[in-house]
Structure 1
Amino acid sequence: MSPAAETDTRPGDLPQRGQIALRSGRIEVDGTPTLLLSGEVHYFRLRRDEWADRLTQARDAGLDTIASYIPWIWHELPNGELDLTGRTCPERDLPAFIDLCDSLGLRFLARPGPFVMAELKNEGIPDRIYREHPDARPNGWDGRAARSEDLDYHHSGFLTEAERWLGAVVEVLAPRQAPDGPVVGVQLDNEVGMLAWVSNTPHLNDRGVGDLLTWLTDRHGAEAAAKLLGVTGDDPDQLAAAVRAGGDPAQTPAFHHELGLWARDDFAGYLRHLETFARDRGIAVPLLINVHGTGGGRGTTFPIGISQLAPAYRGRDGLLAGSDYYLGELTVQNAADLYLCNAILACVNGPDQPASSLEFEAGTGDYGDNLDALSSPESGVHKTLLTLGQGNRLINYYLLTGGRNPVLEGSRDDGIPRIAFTGERHGFAAPIDPEGRTTPALDALANLFKEVRAYQPILATGRQLTDELGFGFVADHYLTEYAHPAAAARREQVEDLERHRGFGARDALGRAIVLGGYHVDAVDLQAIADPESAWTAGATAPEAPRTIVLGTARTLGVKVQRWLTDHVRNGGNLLLTGRLPDRDQDGAPCTILADAFGLSSAGFRIDRRDESGPYWPTVTGSGSFPLDADLRVSSAQLLRAPAEAEVLLREVGSGLPCAIQAQLGAGSMIFVGCDFPAAHLDNWNALFSRFGVRPRVGIDADRTGLLTVPVTSEHGNLLIAVNLAPYAITASISVDGHQVQPPTTFPARGHALLPW
Structure 2
Amino acid sequence: MIELVERQIRIDGKAVLVMCGEIHYFRLAREDWEDRIVKLKEAGCNAVASYIPWICHEPVRGQVDLTGATRAELDLGAFIDLCASHALYFFARPGPFIMAEMKNEGIPYWVYDEIPEAIPVGWDGAEPTTPTLDYLAPRFLSAAENWYREALAVIAPRTYPNGGNVMALQLDNEIGMLSWVSNTPDLTDNVLADFASWLDGKTEHGYPFETADIAKNPALIRSPKEDYSAKLHQDLGYYMRDRFRRYVETLRNYAENFGVTGIPFVVNIHGTGGGRGYTFPIGISQLYESYTHEAGYLPGSDIYFGDFTMENFHDLHLINAFMTATNRDGQPITSVEFNCGDGNFGDNLGGRYDVSAADLKARLCVAQGNRLINYYLMAGGYNYEMAENRPDGNNRIAITGERHGFAAPISPEGELNYTYPRMAESIQTIIALGDKLAAMDEEHDALHFAFIPDYYMTEYSYPSSTAAQAIKQNIEANRASGSWDIVAKSLLLNSYRFGSIDIQNREFDAQQHPVIALPCARYLARDIQERLVTYLETGGALFIYGELPLYDMEGAPCKILTEALGATYQETKNDHGYSLSITGENWCREKPEIRTHHAQLFSLEKGTAILKEKQGDGICGIETKVGKGHAIAITTAYRGDIDFIQTAFTRLGAPPMLAHDYPHHGIVTTTTKNAQNERFVHLLNLDGMEKQFRLTEQDAPLFGGNPITLGAKSGLILPLQMQLGPTFIEYSTAEVMSYNEQEIRLRVLQPEATICIQTTQHIRESRNYTITKKLGSTILHIKTRGKLKIQFDK
TM-score by length of 2: 0.88
Does 1:480 find its partner at 2:455? no
Return the alpha-carbon distance in structure 1 between the equivalents of residues 29 and 281 of structure 2.
38
Task: List per-residue Cα deviations over 1:230-260 (Å, max 9, x = no partner).
Answer: x4795345552211113x3123211111111
Q: CA, structure 1 residues 354+638, in 2 after alignment: closer, same or farther (shift >3 Å)?
A: same
Quick one: which amino acid aligns to residue 372 of structure 2? L
1:193 maps onto 2:176 in alignment: yes
**Which residue does the alignment assign to 1:705?**
666
Equivalent in 229, 237, 251 of residue 274 of structure 1: 251
Partner of 1:604: 572
Instruction: Look up the match of 2:716.
Output: 752
Q: Compute the displacement of 1:79 (Å).
A: 5.5
1:142-161 superposed matches below 5 A: 142-161=124-143
- CA shift in 2, pair 1:236/1:26, >3 Å: closer
- Decide whether the 8 Å contact of 1:458 with 1:714 is kept in 2: no
**Aligned residues of 2:510 and 2:539 also touching (Cα < 8 A):** no
C-alpha displacement at 1:315, in angstroms?
5.3
Distance of 2:512 and 2:252 partners within structure 1? 32
Aligned residue among 322, 329, 332 for 2:300: 322
Residue identity matched to 1:349: N
The within-5 A match list for 1:280-429 is 280-284=257-261, 285-314=263-292, 316-429=294-407
Q: What residue is the counterpart of 1:75 in the other structure?
A: 57
Aligned positions of 1:105-116 closer than 5 A: 105-116=87-98
Note if 1:470 corresponds to 2:442: no
Query: 2:147 is matched with which residue?
Result: 165
1:457-536 → structure 2 map (5 Å cutoff): 457-502=435-480, 504=482, 507-528=485-506
Q: C-alpha distance in 2, partners of 1:330/1:116?
A: 27
Give the paired residue count. Answer: 715
Q: Specify the code of the residue in structure 2 equivalent to 1:107.
A: Y
Q: Which of 68, 77, 80 is matched with 1:86 structurally?
A: 68
The one of 10, 25, 36 equivalent to 1:43 is: 25
Of structures 1 and 2, the one with the larger relative CO (CA 8 A, separation 6+) is 1
Correspondent of 2:411 among 417, 433, 445: 433
Counterpart of 2:603 in structure 1 is 640
Q: Hey, what's the Cα distance between the residues in 2 that align with 1:43 and 1:234?
A: 49
Post-superposition shift, 1:63? Answer: 0.4
Moved more, 357-366 or 542-551: 542-551
**Aligned counterparts of 1:515 and 1:527: Cα–Cα separation in 2:** 29
Shift of residue 262, structure 1, vs aligned partner: 0.6
Contact 1:116 1:190 (8 Å CA) reproduced: yes
Aligned to 1:670: 632
Given candidates 98, 107, 117, the residue that maps to 2:99 is 117
Q: Does 1:135 find its partner at 2:117?
A: yes
Distance in 2 (CA, whole Å) between partners of 1:388 and 1:477 is 27
Look up the match of 1:7.
none
**What is the alpha-carbon distance in structure 2 between the residues aligned to residue 517 and residue 607 of structure 1?**
34
Matched, 1:630 2:630: no
Distance in 1, matches of 2:472 and 2:500, equals 23
Question: Of residues 544, 549, 553 in structure 1, which corresponds to 2:517?
Answer: 549
1:543, CA displacement in angstroms?
7.6
- Are the structure 2 counterparts of residues 258 and 432 from structure 1 closer, same or farther at C-alpha, using a change threshold of 3 Å? same
Give 1:654 shift: 1.8
Is 1:260 paired with 2:223?
no
1:636-664 superposed Cα distances (whole Å, 9 cap, x missing partner): 1111111x311111111224211011111
CA contact (8 A) 2:660 2:693 kept: yes
Tell me the equivalent position of 2:742: none
* Distance across 1 between alignment mates of 2:616 and 2:349: 49
Q: Is the 8 A contact 2:568 2:603 kept in 1?
A: yes
Aligned 8 A contact 1:499 1:505 in 2: no
Q: Is the 1:139–1:205 contact (alpha carbons within 8 Å) kept by the matching residues of 2?
A: yes
- Cα 1:685/1:201, change in 2 over 3 Å: same
Distance 2:565 2:60 in 1: 68
- Return the letter of the residue paired with 2:86: L
Q: Which moved more, 1:61-70 or 1:645-654?
A: 645-654
Query: For residues 210 and 93 of structure 2, what CA distance do their matches in structure 1 show?
Result: 47
Question: Partner letter of residue 268 of structure 2?
Answer: N
Q: CA deviation at 1:601?
A: 1.6
Per the TM alignment, residue 670 of structure 1 is displaced from its structure 2 partner at its CA by 0.7
Maintained 8 Å contact 1:407/1:418: yes
Which residue number corresponds to residue 777 of structure 2?
Answer: none
User: Is contact 2:680-2:717 (8 Å) kept?
Assistant: yes
User: Cα deviation per residue 1:65-100 (whole Å; 9 max; x = unaligned)?
Assistant: 000000000111335411001111101100000000
8 Å contact from structure 1 (residues 502, 550) kept in 2: no
- Which residue of the partner structure matches residue 578 of structure 1? 546
Distance 2:319 2:341 in 1: 21
What one-letter code is carried by the residue in structure 1 that aligns with 2:679?
A: N
Matches within 5 A, 1:2-41: 19-41=1-23
The equivalent residue for 1:176 is 158
Q: Are 2:219 and 1:251 aligned?
A: no
Deviations 1:512-563 (A, max 9, x none): 2222321111001012369xxxxxxxxxx99841110011111111111111
**Structure 1: distance between partners of 2:510 and 2:221:** 36
Match for 2:365: what amino acid?
T
Aligned with 1:561 (options 523, 529, 532): 529
- SS state of the match for residue 382, structure 1? helix
CA distance in 2 between partners of 1:321 and 1:665 (Å) = 39
Please say if residues 19 and 431 of structure 2, whose CA atoms lie closer than 8 Å, have aligned partners that are also in contact: no
- Whether the aligned pair in 2 keeps the contact of 1:505 and 1:675 (CA below 8 Å) is no
Q: Deviations over 1:21-62 (max 9, x none)?
A: 111111111111110000000001100000000001111111
For residues 182-236 of structure 1, the C-alpha deviation after alignment (integer angstroms, 9 at most, x for no partner) is: 1001000000000110000002110111111221222144xx4442xxx479534
**Which consecutive unaligned segments of at least 5 residues does structure 1 have?**
1-18, 531-540, 610-614
Moved more, 706-715 or 733-742: 733-742
* CA–CA distance in structure 2, aligned partners of residues 523 and 542 of structure 1: 12
Is residue 214 of structure 1 aligned with residue 178 of structure 2?
A: no
Given candidates 651, 662, 665, the residue that maps to 2:613 is: 651
Shift of 1:738: 3.1
Contact kept? 1:119, 1:422, Cα under 8 Å: yes
Q: Distance in 2 between matches of 1:584 and 1:58?
A: 51
- Which of 685, 689, 698 is residue 736 of structure 1 equivalent to? 698
Distance 1:529 1:343 in 2: 17
Whole-angstrom CA distance in 1 between matches of 2:229 and 2:309? 39
1:572 aligned partner, one-letter code: G
Deviations 1:658-677 (A, max 9, x none): 10111111011111001212
Distance between the aligned counterparts of 1:468 and 1:268, measured in 2? 34
In the TM superposition, residue 714 of structure 1 has moved relative to its aligned partner by 3.1
CA contact (8 A) 1:503 1:510 kept: no
Q: CA deviation at 1:401?
A: 0.4
Provide the C-alpha distance between the structure 1 equivalents of 2:295 and 2:511, rounded to a whole number of angstroms. 22
Aligned-CA RMSD value: 1.7
- 2:579 aligns to what? 616
Taking the aligned partners of 1:78 and 1:314, their CA distance within structure 2 comes to: 36
More off after superposition, 338-347 vs 440-449:
440-449
Inter-partner Cα distance in structure 2 for 1:296 and 1:164: 37
Aligned pairs (5 A) from 1:688-727: 688-715=649-676, 716-727=678-689
Contact 1:473–1:502 (CA under 8 A) maintained in structure 2: no
**How many angstroms apart in 2 are the aligned matches of 1:340 and 1:627?**
31
Q: Kindly indicate whether the alpha-carbon contact (under 8 Å) linking 1:527 and 1:542 is maintained by their aligned counterparts in 2.
A: no
